[in-house]
C-alpha cells in the first residue's frame, strides 16, 4: 500500500509533498535506511524521514536539517504521474522553471540556472562547458525521490551550489525489489516507457533502470507548423556490497542520450521578424552524457566514526545540426574525488571533515574553425568543516569551506543555522550563508563568429543570504512561512558594446538583490491530502527587475486515495505570474525588455488497480489548453492526454 508521508523538518521549509525513506546517496549505509511510516503531526516526530544532501556527514533525519528544504517522495512522483522531474519542481516554493527545446532551467529564489547544483545518485551532473544541467533530460524512474535545498550551499559543495541544491536519487535494489514497469501513450505521438529490476537486501543489492521518453511534439514558433519532437533514453544502474559489518562498497552509473528538434531565432537585422523564433527545418540537437561513481565506506568505534572515499566522472557531449551538417558542439568532462570523515560525539553532536579534488576539462567542437578547439582545464581543492548539535529545544549547525583554485582567487564560504522549539507544535528558525560561483568555460572562452565572444577576465560571482521562518502544526495540518534576503555581487551578465554590438559577458558593478516570502500548507484530511505553496519574489539588479523570475508563483494540489489503494485521483493547479524577459528585436541586437503574460496550468490524473500487480492510469496535462510563453517567442505545448498501464512483480 502506498503511503503519504508528511514529516517535519527542523528549520526546514516550506515542505511540499513530503516523504523520504531512503538511505544516503554518496555516504549511506544499510542502517540509515528505513521504511515509510504514516505520521501527520510532523514537528520533530518522524524518526524515519531521511535527508541526504543537507550535510556532508551523509544521511540523517529530516527533522534535524537546519535550512529550507522540500522532499518529494516516490509516492508523490507516482501519484502525480511525473515523467519530467522539472514538472514537479514547479510545486516547490522558491522554484521557477523555464523550458525550451534542448534546455530546461530552474532558478531557486531568483538565482540563475547555473547557480543550482544538481546531484543524481550523488554525482554532480552539470555540463562543465555550459555550467549547468539540462533538467529536461532527467526522467522520473520508478521508485525515485527528489530533494531541494534552497539558499547557498557552497559551504558544503563549493562553487556550483551558490543558489541551492537539487538532489535526485533512484531506488536501490533493497528498497524496491522485483520487476516494475510502465508503458503509456497519448497526444502528439507520445510513447513513454520505464522498467526496473531490483534484487538483493541491504547487505548486497543491485538495481537496473531503463527509461524512454518519445514525442513528436508541437510547434513552438508563433504561427509555426513545424513540430518540435524529442527522444530521450536513460540507462542506469547502482549496486551496494557490505563486505563486512563495518566496510561497504558502492557503485552507480548512468547514460543519457537525447535527440530532439529545435527552431532558430531570426537574426537578420533587416527582417520584420528579427528576434522571433521561426520554423527552421532540419535543425536538431544531440546530447550524450555518461556519469559514474564508485565509493567505499568504513565504520569504526561502533559506527561513531565513519570514513568515506569516492570518485566520480561526468562526461557530456552536445552537438547541434543544420540542413548541411553539424553547426556547433562542445565537450565537457569532470573528474572528482572526495574524502569525508564524520565523528559522532554523542546522539546530539557531530563533527565532519571533507576534502574534494575536482578537475574539469572543456573543449569547443566548432566545425568551422572560427573558435579555439583545444582543451582547457581548471582544478579546485575544497576543504570543509561542519558541526551539527542539539541542546534540548535548541538545534544549531555551522559549516565552513575553503577552496583553492588554479584559475581564480581562493575563496571561503560559510553557513550557520539555528532552530528553537517554542512549543511542541511551533518552531522558529533562522539561517545565513555565503556562496560563490566561478565563471564557466563558455563565459570565459566561448565563441560564435560575429555573435558571441567570451571574457577570460571575469570574476566569480559572490552571494550572501539570510532567512527567518516559522513552522506551525495544527492537528494534521502544517503551516510554514519563510522570509529570505539575498545579495549578489559581480553578477555575470551579457553586454553588447559598440561599435560591433557583439555579445560578451561581463561583471556588473552594482549589486543584485533577491528578497521574498515562501508560504506553504499541507494537510491530511481522511482519504484526501492537500498541499499549497506560494512564493513572492522581488529580484532586482540596480533597481531593474531581473528576467525570468516571476514575482508571484503558486501551486495547489488535492489528492484522493481509496481504501486499500484500489484507486486514486488528483488535481494540481500551477500559477506562474507575469515575467520579464529580453527580446533581441533591434538591429543592434541590444536587448529590449518585454513582459510575458501570466499563465495557469491544470493537470488531472487518476489510476485504478486492475489486479494485485497491474494498474491502469491516465492524465491530462494543461487541461485548459493554456497558450503561454516561458521564454520570449517560444510557444509552450498545449493540452495533452496520456493513458497507460503499470505492473509490479
| pLDDT at residue 558 tops 50 | yes
Q: Tell me the mean pLDDT in the region 596-622.
A: 97
User: What is d(CA 256, CA 120) in angstroms, rounded to the nearest whole number?
Assistant: 12
Tell me whether residue 8 is in a domain: no
Residues 336-365: tens digit of each pLDDT: 999 999 999 887 899 999 999 999 999 999
Tell me whether residue 137 is in a domain: yes
Reduced to 3 states, what is the DSSP secondary structure of residue 7? coil
Residues 120-168: tens digit of each pLDDT: 999 999 999 988 999 999 999 999 999 999 999 999 999 999 999 999 9
Mean pLDDT estimate for the chain: 89
Pick the more confident residue, 99 or 46.
99
Query: What is the pLDDT at residue 497?
Result: 83
Pick the more confident residue, 69 or 483.
483
Least-confidence region, from 367-381, 396-410, 477-491, 595-609 = 367-381
Task: Please tell me the total count of domains within the chain.
Answer: 1
Tell me whether residue 18 is in a domain: no
Tell me whether residue 1 is in a domain: no
CATH of residue 145: 2.40.170.20
Tell me whether residue 6 is in a domain: no
Query: What is the pLDDT at residue 39?
Result: 25
Residues 448, 330 contacting (CB under 8 angstroms): no
User: Phi, psi at residue 189, to the nearest 5°?
Assistant: 65, 30
Tell me whether residue 16 is in a domain: no
From the number of C-beta atoms within 10 Å of its C-beta (0-12, 13-18, 19+), residue 404 rates as middle
| pLDDT at residue 1 tops 60 | no
Pick the more confident residue, 39 or 571.
571
Query: What is the pLDDT at residue 63?
Result: 66
> Which residues, 6 or more positions from 633, have their beta carbon under 8 angstroms from its beta carbon?
221, 222, 265, 275, 276, 277, 583
| pLDDT at residue 308 tops 80 | yes
Tell me whether residue 485 is in a domain: yes
Residues 633-648: tens digit of each pLDDT: 999 999 999 999 999 9
Query: What is the pLDDT at residue 18?
Result: 29
User: What is d(CA 73, CA 38) in angstroms, rounded to the nearest whole number?
Assistant: 13
Residues 381-407: tens digit of each pLDDT: 999 999 999 999 999 999 999 999 999
Beta strand 116-120 with 164-169 is: parallel
Q: Tell me the mean pLDDT in the region 41-63.
A: 60
> Which residues, 6 or more positions from 141, have their beta carbon under 8 angstroms from its beta carbon?
170, 171, 194, 196, 209, 211, 234, 236
| pLDDT at residue 589 tops 90 | no
User: What is d(CA 209, CA 181) in angstroms, rounded to the nearest whole number?
Assistant: 10
Query: What is the pLDDT at residue 49?
Result: 56
Question: pTM value?
Answer: 0.91
Domain extent at residue 480: 30-648
- Confidence label for 101 from pLDDT (cuts 50, 70 and 90): confident
Residues 510-525: tens digit of each pLDDT: 999 999 999 999 998 8
Residues 82-91: tens digit of each pLDDT: 999 999 999 9
Query: What is the pLDDT at residue 591?
Result: 85
| pLDDT at residue 4 tops 70 | no
Query: What is the pLDDT at residue 487?
Result: 97
**Residues composing the chain:** 649
- Confidence label for 15 from pLDDT (cuts 50, 70 and 90): very low
Residues 221-262: tens digit of each pLDDT: 999 999 999 999 999 999 999 999 999 999 999 999 999 999
Tell me whether residue 386 is in a domain: yes
Amino acid at each position: 500500500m502506498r503511503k503519504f508521508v508528511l514529516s517535519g523538518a527542523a528549520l526546514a521549509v516550506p515542505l511540499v509533498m513530503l516523504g523520504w525513506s531512503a538511505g544516503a546517496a554518496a555516504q549511506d549505509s544499510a542502517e540509515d535506511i528505513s521504511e515509510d511510516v504514516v505520521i501527520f503531526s510532523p514537528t520533530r516526530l518522524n524518526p524515519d524521514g531521511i535527508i541526504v544532501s543537507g550535510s556532508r556527514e551523509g544521511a540523517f533525519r529530516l527533522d534535524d536539517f537546519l535550512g529550507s528544504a522540500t522532499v518529494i517522495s516516490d509516492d508523490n512522483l507516482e501519484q502525480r504521474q511525473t515523467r519530467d522531474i522539472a514538472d514537479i519542481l514547479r510545486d516547490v516554493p522558491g522554484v521557477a522553471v523555464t523550458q525550451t527545446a534542448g534546455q530546461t532551467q530552474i532558478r531557486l529564489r531568483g538565482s540563475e540556472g547555473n547557480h543550482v547544483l544538481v546531484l543524481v545518485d550523488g554525482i554532480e551532473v552539470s555540463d562543465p562547458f555550459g555550467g549547468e544541467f539540462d533538467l529536461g533530460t532527467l526522467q522520473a524512474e520508478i521508485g525515485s525521490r527528489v530533494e531541494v535545498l534552497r539558499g547557498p550551499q557552497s559551504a558544503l559543495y563549493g562553487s556550483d551550489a551558490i543558489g541551492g541544491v537539487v538532489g535526485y536519487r533512484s531506488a536501490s535494489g533493497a528498497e524496491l525489489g522485483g520487476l516494475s514497469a510502465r508503458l503509456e501513450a497519448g497526444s502528439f505521438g507520445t510513447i513513454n516507457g520505464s522498467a526496473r529490476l531490483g534484487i538483493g537486501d541491504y547487505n548486497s543489492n543491485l538495481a537496473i533502470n531503463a527509461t524512454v521518453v518519445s514525442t513528436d511534439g508541437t510547434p513552438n514558433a508563433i504561427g509555426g507548423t513545424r513540430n518540435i519532437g524529442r527522444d530521450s533514453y536513460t540507462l542506469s544502474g547502482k549496486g551496494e556490497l557490505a563486505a563486512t559489518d563495518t566496510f561497504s562498497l558502492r557503485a552507480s552509473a548512468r547514460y543519457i542520450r537525447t535527440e530532439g528538434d529545435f527552431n532558430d531565432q531570426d537574426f537578420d537585422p533587416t527582417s520584420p521578424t528579427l528576434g522571433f523564433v521561426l520554423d527552421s527545418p532540419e535543425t536538431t540537437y544531440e546530447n550524450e552524457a555518461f556519469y559514474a561513481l564508485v565509493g567505499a565506506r568504513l565504520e569504526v568505534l561502533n559506527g561513531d566514526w565513519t570514513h568515506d572515499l569516492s570518485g566520480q566522472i561526468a562526461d557530456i557531449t552536445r552537438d547541434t545540426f543544420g540542413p548541411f551538417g553539424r553547426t556547433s558542439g562542445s565537450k565537457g568532462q569532470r573528474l572528482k574525488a572526495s574524502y569525508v570523515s564524520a565523528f559522532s560525539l554523542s546522539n546530539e553532536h557531530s563533527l565532519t571533515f571533507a576534502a574534494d579534488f575536482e578537475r574539469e576539462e572543456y573543449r569547443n567542437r566548432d566545425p568551422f574553425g572560427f573558435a579555439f578547439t583545444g582543451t582547457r582545464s581548471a582544478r579546485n581543492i575544497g576543504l570543509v568543516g561542519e558541526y551539527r548539535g542539539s541542546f534540548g529545544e535548541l538545534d544549531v549547525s555551522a559549516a565552513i569551506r575553503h577552496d583553492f583554485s588554479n584559475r581564480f582567487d581562493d575563496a571561503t564560504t560559510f553557513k550557520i543555522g539555528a532552530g528553537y522549539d517554542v512549543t511542541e507544535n511551533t518552531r522558529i528558525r533562522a539561517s545565513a550563508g555565503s556562496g560563490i560561483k566561478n565563471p564557466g568555460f563558455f563565459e570565459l572562452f566561448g565563441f560564435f563568429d560575429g555573435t558571441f565572444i567570451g571574457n577570460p577576465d571575469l570574476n566569480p560571482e559572490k552571494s550572501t543570504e539570510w532567512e527567518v521562518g516559522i513552522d506551525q502544526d495544527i492537528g494534521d495540518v502544517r503551516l510554514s512561512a519563510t522570509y529570505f534576503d539575498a545579495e549578489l555581487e559581480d553578477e555575470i551578465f551579457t553586454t553588447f558594446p559598440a561599435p560591433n554590438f557583439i555579445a560578451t559577458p561581463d561583471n556588473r558593478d552594482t549589486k543584485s538583490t533577491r528578497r521574498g516570502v515562501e508560504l506553504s500548507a499541507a494537510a491530511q484530511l481522511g482519504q484526501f491530502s492537500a498541499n499549497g505553496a506560494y512564493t513572492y519574489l522581488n529580484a532586482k539588479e540596480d533597481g531593474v527587475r531581473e528576467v525570468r523570475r516571476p514575482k508571484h508563483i503558486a501551486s495547489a494540489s488535492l489528492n484522493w486515495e481509496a481504501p486499500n489503494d484500489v484507486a486514486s485521483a488528483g488535481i494540481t493547479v500551477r500559477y506562474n505570474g507575469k515575467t520579464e524577459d529580453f527580446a533581441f528585436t533591434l538591429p543592434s541586437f541590444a536587448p529590449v525588455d518585454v513582459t510575458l503574460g501570466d499563465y495557469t496550468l491544470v493537470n488531472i490524473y487518476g489510476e485504478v488497480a486492475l489486479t494485485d500487480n497491474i494498474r491502469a492510469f491516465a492524465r491530462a496535462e494543461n487541461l485548459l489548453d493554456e497558450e503561454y510563453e516561458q521564454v520570449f517567442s517560444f510557444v509552450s505545448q498545449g493540452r495533452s492526454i496520456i493513458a497507460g498501464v503499470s505492473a509490479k512483480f
